[in-house]
């Protein structure tokens, strides 16, 4: 039990049978989200999960909160309308790499640029799972799938640079296999006031098994990943003996710990967060919060305008109908 | 000047049709709107038809850039903007080229002769000068050098360039037409001051041009003017002149106020629907949230999200945008939440004729979705009617928890007419019946009368539930792939929409309650058909008029009403969509009168068809009148 409301993980488990494939990393994410929810100390009835279409988008059915399983790609737009109509609600969006970055890419970037107060969780398994194994916009170049038997010829998106480029005020990454880290990131995202974007690497055991093994498995992750901590030097390696430093030509390079760049997620400019987001293997992959800055949210701004308008002029329907030039026709004598 | 009296006494006439035409940069829409405002103030009944190109500024002086504004104003009731103008104001040769053919024989032409230079004529496609080659024989002519007269009028005004002066020509034309129809000038003079309050020198120039136009008419005793049109005997009440788009917006606000709900309006800019967004964006104090979305799909899905949150969700677009929203409409009907979707129809398909009117989205509205997906469809008949229809669409959406499509069109949205204002407190209350009681709550249990499901909004303790586009169990709303449940839900959704027809008022034909010809119409053809039926009856034909507000489901008494006429004429601005709908739904054959020119029907076109049908003795078969 946590918080004043005394909620527990079980309070967020719905009565629906979870129907992901055995071994799917979505189970770990679901369990972690359900575990973190009580800590938010928000009444269940004030929480809404909105999703699009895809394996990840079945998520709302398993949360004992309000929820909507929307249509493909549109969850950020549905959630935007909901949040603007009801700013007091806590609204999560659950999407995937196909849902959020392909068919729904436009809604995702606009939700981020508006800084609508949504928590957007993008489950990235680099494959279309529900349609049984086609390349997705995050599938690596050359990947062989059912729809690309000779290997893909289109380059993938980097979800983090897209989010940063779209003006997201909170951008983070985690991985389903490290639930402690995931819980920390989810907590931070939930506490952020504004559009929070979290990329969660998530293994699909059926159509893209092992997609993240070379970075995220226990035996390699200390070397392949770098955990970001605000105000701390960017160190990695089992012995924390490697660091990211400023390299030649406006770049980050791996070197010794002296001169390590100190992480600052609150920097106004995007230089550091973008440089971290853009790191490609064999450079270490950043995990944690890349950026967390405070900006007014669109839902709050819109509501302020309405309240301001109502203060200046009380709503008067009769007056509204009669506004402009009117004239009266008298009854004929 | 308002005190000055015309040297010749005005002659009483009972109606007039005036068209202002010029380059799209000439201010013709403003000129028409200002003339209309005065006609409304003087108590005339009126109807207007703005007609402008899709290009904001097509090359100056070409026929592609001609913008027009027509008004019919009268001492009696008016139903359409009129077939043929009595007076045509043409600011340049291109406007004359485009509109001359419409001018009534013997009608009055007001021309700016300064604009008939050789280069102007070539640009407009005149092979020779119409002022001298007898093209204008048979019309009465007021031929004035607008350029010179506004230059004289503005002489000595500081701070004005020659360009500023020339831009006042539309007010010169307005002043002249004010004199022609002996309109009071005081209100317009005040309006000019107010309009240009921030640029008083421009205001003064326009005022002088306006007066110069008026005095020109008076001094030259132009044509056989002036004429006078007495106030119409409209039914007693307070009126305002209203645009269709404005009335739609106000209808939504009123429905939200009367149901105690917030209004969330998601929209993406598109001609001719954007004015609804512009209007609603002004009324934030009513708990109106307007959201200019990134695209049409976001506009509708955000509105669905807002409806899930307990707001009245609404969106508006035109045909191409509605096509994009289609999948989301399926979601809204599946999760059974209130949503009003306005389709301001325009010429189609594809981008089609963005600024021209048409009625070709009926199939899209009624039948254009995947799956068995019944959505109620209503149609507005005129600018003022838009208020009531928007209110009615909202009522149906809220009470039946369903998306509703409201068909308007470009001519209705941009057109204006006097609107007899309802009293806000006399508007019926709409009860949203939000569910708050957790006892026995099932998301898809149904009201026995309406078959509506409970509307349980987030924030309500104990009613947490999930909805979505997957088929639902008929009670719990949980995902269900059960075959019999799917059939049950499909039939229930259809039955719910069918039951809406029980709430319609009785159909009462205008004109004769039975007879030779019944004219069945819907949407924006209302005005032309109404006038045509009045005219045909005056010539001795027994004819009635049935105008549909409810397109789907059709009124239950429609078959009986149609059966009272020997044959049914169905005029539509499409290839026969309501005709096929009526045949498919009711098995009733009608005879189509179809026009697909991006323009409304002329009254005469409909009247001729009525006369032809009344005369021909042949059997009643489907055919299209040529």
pLDDT reading at B619 higher than 70: no
Question: Residue B199: which residues within 8 A CB-CB, separation 6 or more?
Answer: none
Put simply, whether B301 touches A (Cβ < 8 Å) is yes
CA separation (Å) from A138 to B528, B529, B615?
A: 58, 58, 71
Any idea how long chain A is?
A: 333
**For chain B, what is the domain count?**
3
Residue of chain A nearest B310, judged by CA positions = A85
- The answer to whether A326 contacts B466, with C-beta atoms less than 8 Å apart, is no
Nearest to B142 by CA among B239, B205, B224, B228: B224
Give the nearest partner residue to A68 out of B262, B327, B468, using CB atoms. Answer: B468
Tokens encoding A268: 């106004």
Q: Which of B179, B200, B228 is the last residue of a domain?
A: B228
CA separation (Å) from B376 to B305, B338, B357, B365, B551?
A: 20, 12, 22, 9, 8
Per-window interface: B 191-250 vs A, CB < 8 A: 231, 233-241, 250
Asked if B62 and B112 sit in the same domain, the reply is yes
Q: How far apart are CA A177 and CA A26, in angstroms?
A: 10
Asked if B129 and B210 sit in the same domain, the reply is yes
List strand residue ranges (DSSP E) for B288-426, in order. Answer: 288-292, 312-317, 339-345, 377-379, 403-409, 416-420
Q: How far apart are CA B231 and CA B208, in angstroms?
A: 28
Compute the mean pLDDT over every residue in chain B, rounded to the nearest whole number: 95
pLDDT reading at B626 higher than 60: no
- What residue spans define the domains of chain A? 9-211+296-300
Give the nearest partner residue to A68 out of B235, B302, B466, using CB atoms. Answer: B466
pLDDT reading at B245 higher than 90: yes
Q: Are B19 and B87 in contact (CB under 8 A)?
A: yes
CATH number, domain of B549, equals 3.40.50.920
Q: pLDDT class for B56, splitting at 50, 70, 90?
A: confident
Tokens encoding B194: 């107010």
Alpha-carbon torsion, ordered A247, A249, A252, A254, to 10 deg: -40
User: Is residue B334 assigned to a domain?
Assistant: yes
Q: What is the reported pLDDT for A216?
A: 87
pTM here?
0.95
Q: Are B72 and B82 in contact (CB under 8 A)?
A: yes
Nearest to B546 by CA among B584, B510, B578: B510
Asked if B200 and B248 sit in the same domain, the reply is no
Q: pLDDT class for B57, splitting at 50, 70, 90?
A: confident
Share of chain B above pLDDT 70, in %: 97
DSSP 8-state secondary structure symbol assigned to residue A1: -
Q: What is the pLDDT of residues A206-245, one digit of tens each?
A: 999 999 999 888 889 999 999 999 999 999 999 999 999 9
Question: Residue B89: which residues within 8 A CB-CB, separation 6 or more?
Answer: B18, B19, B20, B21, B22, B31, B110, B173, B176, B177
Nearest to B528 by CA among B582, B451, B607, B475: B607
Share of chain B above pLDDT 90, in %: 93
Strand B339-345, strand B312-317: pairing: parallel
User: Is residue B453 assigned to a domain?
Assistant: no
Q: Does domain A9-211+296-300 have CATH number 3.30.200.20?
A: no
3-state secondary structure of B303: helix
Per-window interface: B 541-600 vs A, CB < 8 A: none
To which residue do tokens 């983070």 refer? A172
Q: What is the reported pLDDT for B303?
A: 98
pLDDT reading at B7 higher than 80: no
Question: Residue B535: which residues within 8 A CB-CB, separation 6 or more?
Answer: B603, B607
Asked if B373 and B514 sit in the same domain, the reply is no
Q: Which of B228, B252, B286 is the last residue of a domain?
A: B228
- The answer to whether B301 contacts A78, with C-beta atoms less than 8 Å apart, is yes
Chain A residues within an 8 Å CB radius of B460: 45
Question: Within 10 A of A123 (CB to CB), how many other CB atoms are there?
Answer: 28
Which of A113-122, B228-237, B448-457, B616-625 has the weakest average pLDDT? B616-625
3-state secondary structure of B82: coil
Q: Are A122 and A100 in contact (CB under 8 A)?
A: yes
Asked if B176 and B250 sit in the same domain, the reply is no
Asked if B420 and B278 sit in the same domain, the reply is yes
Q: Which residues pair with B591 in a beta bridge?
A: B569
Q: Which of B426, B445, B473 is the last residue of a domain?
A: B426
Q: How far apart are CA B443 and CA B460, in angstroms?
A: 13
Asked if B182 and B257 sit in the same domain, the reply is no
Q: Which residues pair with A247 in a beta bridge?
A: A251
3-state secondary structure of B110: strand
To which residue do tokens 């575990």 refer? A35
Asked if B276 and B389 sit in the same domain, the reply is yes
Helix, strand, coil distribution of chain B in percent, nearest 5 = 40, 20, 40
Q: What is the pLDDT of residues B143-182, one digit of tens each?
A: 999 999 999 999 999 889 999 999 999 999 999 999 999 9
Asked if B221 and B249 sit in the same domain, the reply is no
Q: What is the reported pLDDT for B53?
A: 85
User: Is residue B121 assigned to a domain?
Assistant: yes
Report the number of secondary-structure helices (H) and strands (E) in chain A: 11, 12
Q: What is the pLDDT of residues A296-323, one digit of tens each?
A: 999 999 999 999 999 999 999 999 999 9
User: Is residue B169 assigned to a domain?
Assistant: yes
ipTM for the predicted complex comes to 0.97
Q: How far apart are CA B217 and CA B220, in angstroms?
A: 5
User: Is residue B500 assigned to a domain?
Assistant: no
Compute the mean pLDDT over every residue in chain A, rounded to the nearest whole number: 96
- B188 torsion bin: left (phi>0), alpha (psi -120 to 50), beta (else): alpha
Chain B residues within an 8 Å CB radius of A331: 236
- B450 torsion bin: left (phi>0), alpha (psi -120 to 50), beta (else): alpha
What stretch of H or E contains B47?
strand B45-51
CA separation (Å) from B466 to A45, A66, A85, A121?
A: 12, 6, 18, 18
Phi, psi of B127 (to 5 degrees): -80, -35
Q: pLDDT class for B623, splitting at 50, 70, 90?
A: low
Asked if B79 and B28 sit in the same domain, the reply is yes
User: Is residue B566 assigned to a domain?
Assistant: yes
- The answer to whether A309 contacts B425, with C-beta atoms less than 8 Å apart, is no
Is the pLDDT higher at B60 or at B486? B486
Tokens encoding A140: 């690596």
CA separation (Å) from A297 to A74, B100, B302?
A: 20, 55, 16
User: What are the CB-based long-range contacts (under 8 Å, 24+) for B132-135?
Assistant: B135/B100
Domain encompassing residue B274: 239-426
Per-window interface: A 59-98 vs B, CB < 8 A: 60-61, 63-71, 74, 77-86, 88-89
Asked if B296 and B211 sit in the same domain, the reply is no
Asked if B392 and B362 sit in the same domain, the reply is yes
CA separation (Å) from A175 to A4, A160, A206, B471?
A: 30, 14, 18, 32
């Amino acid at each position: 039990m946590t918080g004043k409301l005394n909620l527990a993980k079980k309070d967020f488990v719905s009565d629906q049978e979870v129907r992901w494939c055995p071994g799917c990393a979505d189970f770990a994410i679901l369990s972690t989200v359900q575990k973190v929810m009580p800590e938010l100390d928000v009444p269940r009835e004030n929480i809404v999960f909105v999703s699009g279409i895809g394996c990840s988008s079945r998520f709302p059915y398993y949360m004992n909160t309000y929820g909507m399983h929307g249509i493909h790609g549109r969850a950020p737009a549905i959630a935007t309308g909901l949040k603007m109509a009801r700013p007091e609600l806590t609204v999560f969006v659950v999407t995937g790499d196909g849902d959020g970055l392909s068919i729904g890419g436009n809604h995702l970037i606009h939700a981020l640029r508006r800084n609508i107060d949504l928590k957007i969780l993008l489950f990235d398994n680099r494959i279309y799972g529900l349609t049984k194994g086609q390349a997705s916009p995050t599938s690596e170049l050359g990947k062989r799938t059912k729809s690309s038997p000779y290997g893909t010829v289109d380059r993938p998106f980097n979800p983090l640079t897209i989010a940063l480029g779209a003006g997201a005020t909170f951008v983070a990454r985690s991985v389903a296999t490290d639930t402690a880290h995931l819980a920390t990131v989810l907590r931070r995202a939930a506490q952020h006031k504004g559009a929070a974007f979290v990329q969660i690497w998530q293994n699909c055991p059926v159509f893209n098994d092992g997609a993240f093994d070379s970075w995220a498995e226990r035996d390699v992750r200390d070397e392949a990943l770098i955990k970001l901590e605000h105000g701390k030097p960017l160190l990695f390696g089992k012995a924390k003996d490697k660091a990211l430093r400023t390299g030649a030509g406006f770049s980050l390079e791996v070197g010794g710990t002296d001169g390590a760049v100190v992480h600052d997620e609150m920097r106004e400019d995007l230089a550091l967060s973008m440089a971290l987001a853009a790191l490609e293997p064999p450079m270490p992959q950043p995990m944690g919060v890349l950026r967390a800055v405070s900006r007014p949210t669109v839902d709050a701004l819109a509501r302020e305008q309405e309240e301001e308008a109502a203060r200046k002029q009380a709503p008067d329907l009769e007056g509204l109908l009669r506004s402009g030039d009117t004239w009266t026709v008298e009854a004929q004598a | 000047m308002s005190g000055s009296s015309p040297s010749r006494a005005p002659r009483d006439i009972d109606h007039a049709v005036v068209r202002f035409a010029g380059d799209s940069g000439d201010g013709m829409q403003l000129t028409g709107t200002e003339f209309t405002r005065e006609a409304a103030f003087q108590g005339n009944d009126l109807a207007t038809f703005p007609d402008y190109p899709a290009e904001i500024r097509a090359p100056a002086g070409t026929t592609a850039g001609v913008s027009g504004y027509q008004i019919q104003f009268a001492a009696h009731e008016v139903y359409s903007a009129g077939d043929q103008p009595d007076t045509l104001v043409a600011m340049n040769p291109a406007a004359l080229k485009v509109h001359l053919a419409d001018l009534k024989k013997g009608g009055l032409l007001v021309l700016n002769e300064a604009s008939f230079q050789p280069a102007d004529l070539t640009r407009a496609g005149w092979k020779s000068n119409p002022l001298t080659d007898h093209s204008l024989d048979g019309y009465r002519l007021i031929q004035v050098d607008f350029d010179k007269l506004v230059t004289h009028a503005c002489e000595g005004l500081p701070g004005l360039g020659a360009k500023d002066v020339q831009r006042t020509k539309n007010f010169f034309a307005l002043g002249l037409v004010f004199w022609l129809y002996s309109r009071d000038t005081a209100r317009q003079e005040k309006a000019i001051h107010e309009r240009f309050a921030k640029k008083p020198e421009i205001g003064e120039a326009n005022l002088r041009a306006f007066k110069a136009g008026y005095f020109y008419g008076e001094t030259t005793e132009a044509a056989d003017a002036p004429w006078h049109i007495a106030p119409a005997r409209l039914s007693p009440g307070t009126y305002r002149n209203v645009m269709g788009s404005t009335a739609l917006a106000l209808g939504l606000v009123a429905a939200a106020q009367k149901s105690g709900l917030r209004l969330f309006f998601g929209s993406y800019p598109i001609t001719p629907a954007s004015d609804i967004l512009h209007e609603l964006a002004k009324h934030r104090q009513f708990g109106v949230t307007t959201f200019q979305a990134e695209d049409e799909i976001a506009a509708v899905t955000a509105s669905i999200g807002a409806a899930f949150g307990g707001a009245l969700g609404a969106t508006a677009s035109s045909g191409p945008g509605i096509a994009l929203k289609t999948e989301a409409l399926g979601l809204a009907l599946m999760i059974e939440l209130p949503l009003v979707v306005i389709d301001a129809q325009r010429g189609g398909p594809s981008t089609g004729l963005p600024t021209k009117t048409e009625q070709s989205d009926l199939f899209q509205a009624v039948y254009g979705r995947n799956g068995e997906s019944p959505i109620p469809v209503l149609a507005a008949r005129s600018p003022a009617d838009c208020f009531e229809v928007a209110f009615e669409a909202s009522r149906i959406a809220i009470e039946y928890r369903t998306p509703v499509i409201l068909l308007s069109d470009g001519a209705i949205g941009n057109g204006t007419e006097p609107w007899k204002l309802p009293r806000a407190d006399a508007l019926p209350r709409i009860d949203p019946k939000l569910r708050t009681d957790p006892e026995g709550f099932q998301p898809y249990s149904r009201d026995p009368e309406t078959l509506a499901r409970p509307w349980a909004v987030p924030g309500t303790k104990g009613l947490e539930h999930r909805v979505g586009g997957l088929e639902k169990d008929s009670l719990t709303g949980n995902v269900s792939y059960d075959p019999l449940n799917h059939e049950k839900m499909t039939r229930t959704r259809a039955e719910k929409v069918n039951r809406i027809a029980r709430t319609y008022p009785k159909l009462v034909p205008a004109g004769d309650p039975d007879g030779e010809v019944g004219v069945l119409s819907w949407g924006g053809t209302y005005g032309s058909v109404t006038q045509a039926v009045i005219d045909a009856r005056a010539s001795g034909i027994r004819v009635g008029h049935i105008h549909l507000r409810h397109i789907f489901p059709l009124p239950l008494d429609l078959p009986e009403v149609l059966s009272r006429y020997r044959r049914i004429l169905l005029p539509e601005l499409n290839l026969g969509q309501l005709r096929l709908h009526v045949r498919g739904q009711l098995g009733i054959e009608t005879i189509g009168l179809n026009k697909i020119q991006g323009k409304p029907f002329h009254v005469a076109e409909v009247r001729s068809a009525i006369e032809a049908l009344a005369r021909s003795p042949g059997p009643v078969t489907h055919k299209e009148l040529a």
